[in-house]
Amino acid sequence: MTTPIAVVVLAAGAGTRMKSTLPKVLHPLAGWPMVRHVLDNVGRLRPGRIVGVIAPGADAVAAAFAPHPAVVQKRPLGTGDAAKAALGALKGHRGPVLVVFGDAPLVTAESMRRLVAACRRSRAAVGVLGFKARDPSPYGRLIVHGGVLEKIVESKDANAVEKAVDFCNSGVMCIDGALIGGLLRAIRNNNAKREFYLTDAVALARAAGHRTIAVEGDEEEFQGINSRAELAVGERALQRRLRAAAMAAGVTMTDPDTVWLAADTRLSPDVSIGPCVRFGPGVSVASGVQIKAFCDIEGARIGRGALIGPFARIRPGSDVGEEVHIGNFVELKATRMARGAKANHLAYLGDSAIGQRSNIGAGTIAVNYDGYGKHRTVIGADAFVGSNSSLVAPVRVGRGANVTAGSVITEDVPDGAMAFGRARQVTKKGRATALRAKLKERAAAAKQAKKK
């Protein structure tokens, strides 16, 4: 049986270029902290263990690694020192050790799998993922001769010949678990930055007579994220990947570049999405759903055949059933719409349960907040709520009940009942003509006074 791999995720960087109190690896991409993307990708390799390396006091980063352990790099002495901090947590592991960075969320599981497979196949002590860079100047260079990776030279330490090399280091390394301790302890800091470079493990392994290899990947995968601008570039790249996967799985997007997905968005085949739609985390959409332009959906389930939007907002905790219609400028929050229910115009339904086939008129508000607590509105099946009604929770509207337009409902409405909750209309016959004449006279007098 093949020995499982171990994974070390380096996440102790200060991230000063982010100009943020939030640790760099916790900045979000597609609704997830970037380190969660890394953990999700390495998790697809089914490693025997995952170890995070964090900075002192980075409790929030440690929590992001849970249930995996996180060890502390006491001082920022470089990537080699960071990897060495993980050795205690790797005790007893003899298989390959994959070392990745917590700020490189775009590296795919497939690329890492290819690297590990190549190391196993060639029995390499060290393997590195590399890429041909359009602009190699910021990156360490992979110096390869005759198919053998001789060394990695950091950009600041490269000579003129080495700087001309465009095959660059991604930072992702695979190291033989039986050799990693000796290699890391042998690394020295005799370089321009006076740091312990993990990349020196290649030259050390070569000097000891071991095989070292490089495996080429796509440059876009290996974008590290160190600034807000790079975060935006990473977001665009990840969104392109998510959209392409969704369309390949049978989703229609009218204008894909304007659809924004979360990493965990689940879209079934035959979903249709219009322009300018945003999905936050925690959304699942069943087949046959149409989502029209300018909708915002987060933390919700959308049932088969539902029609959403345009300009609808569905907030966390909402469950939209089959064949439900949610129309323009309708907002749901923690609300369940049962099969066939409709709210087609200008409504707010918060903390509510709407029964099957019930109709919610334009301008309806579930008044769910009294300034101190949230309360529920429950509407039975086949009920009709007229336009411009306010349902003051907690309140129940029974099955088949009818709430007339313009009502303020503060008491439960029984099944089959009709409820009025508005002031009686008063009509004064013939008064409109006299009123208009009076208003016209008043306006003319005001105009004359202004001239004086």
Supply the residues annotated as catalytic. 345
Residue 409 — φ and ψ, nearest 5°? -100, 120
DSSP string of 279-299, one letter each residue: E-SS-EE-TT-EE-SS-EE-S
Give residues with Cβ within 8 angstroms of 81, minimum separation 6: 73, 75, 187, 195, 196
Distance from C-alpha of 214 to C-alpha of 147, rounded to nearest angstrom: 8
Distance from C-alpha of 197 to C-alpha of 287, rounded to nearest angstrom: 50
Distance from C-alpha of 223 to C-alpha of 226, rounded to nearest angstrom: 9
Within 10 angstroms of residue 92's Cβ, the number of other Cβ atoms is: 7
Alpha helices (H) along 218-357:
228-248
Distance from C-alpha of 436 to C-alpha of 442, rounded to nearest angstrom: 10
Distance from C-alpha of 381 to C-alpha of 354, rounded to nearest angstrom: 7
Under DSSP, is residue 118 helix (H, G, I), strand (E, B) or coil? helix
The token duo for 116 is: 């590990």
Distance from C-alpha of 408 to C-alpha of 417, rounded to nearest angstrom: 15
Give the single-character DSSP code of 4.
Answer: P
The token duo for 357 is: 């086939």
Nearest-5° angle of CA 263, CA 269, CA 271? 80
34, HSE (Cβ side, Cα atoms, 13 Å): 30
β-strands 96-101, 167-176: how paired?
antiparallel
The token duo for 8 is: 């070390």
Q: Which of 364, 356, 349 is nearest to 409 (CA)?
A: 364
Within 10 angstroms of residue 137's Cβ, the number of other Cβ atoms is: 10
CB 398 within 8 A of CB 381: no
Give residues with Cβ within 8 angstroms of 232, minimum separation 6: none
Q: Which of 173, 153, 8 is nearest to 93 (CA)?
A: 8
Angle between helices 34-43 and 109-122 in degrees, nearest 10: 50
CB 414 within 8 A of CB 401: yes
